[in-house]
Amino acid sequence: MCLAGCFSLEQAATSPLFKRFDQRIESVHPIYSEELGLMSFDFNRALKREFNVGSKEQKTRYGVGLALLLVSVFLANILMLLIGIMLVATAKMQWCPVYSGLNKSSVEAGDQPPTPAAPH
């Protein structure tokens, strides 16, 4: 009885079971793409600062970021500290480089872009 190697990769990829699995993943995971397996990430676009964090997500990022900062101080956890700093910084700037690279945005109608700081 053949348990491994009975099917080639081409046969497995065209099987009805794989197609159903592919459709399920595509409907559940938003960055899944049929061509690449994942949505392409544009590194050049990720470096361009744009307004892509909406007000609801900004509040969530502030809350979770500050909570992580507070907990990281008591637990002496560097990873929590770095993630907390990153979340607070992206909330303050209302810009997420990962969102830019994936061409995503959580901005809703009525959200105001951040105002630039006044020169001293």
Question: Domain span at residue 29?
Answer: 8-40
Is 66 among the domain residues? yes
Alpha-carbon span 32 to 82, nearest angstrom: 28
- Is residue 61 located within the same domain as residue 33? no
Report pLDDT digits (tens) over 71-117.
Answer: 999 999 999 999 999 999 999 999 999 888 888 888 888 888 777 77
pLDDT digits (tens, 9 = 90+) for 43-78: 888 888 888 889 999 999 999 999 999 999 999 999
pLDDT at residue 24 in the model: 55
Into how many domains does the chain fold? 2
Give which of 52, 55, 41 is closest to 95, Cα–Cα: 52
Same-domain check for residues 104 and 52:
yes
Determine phi and psi for 30, rounding to 5 degrees. Answer: -70, -25
Closest CA to 41 of 96, 109, 106: 96
pLDDT score, position 1: 47
- Together in a domain, 56 and 20: no
pLDDT given at position 63? 96
The answer to whether residue 63 is domain-embedded is yes
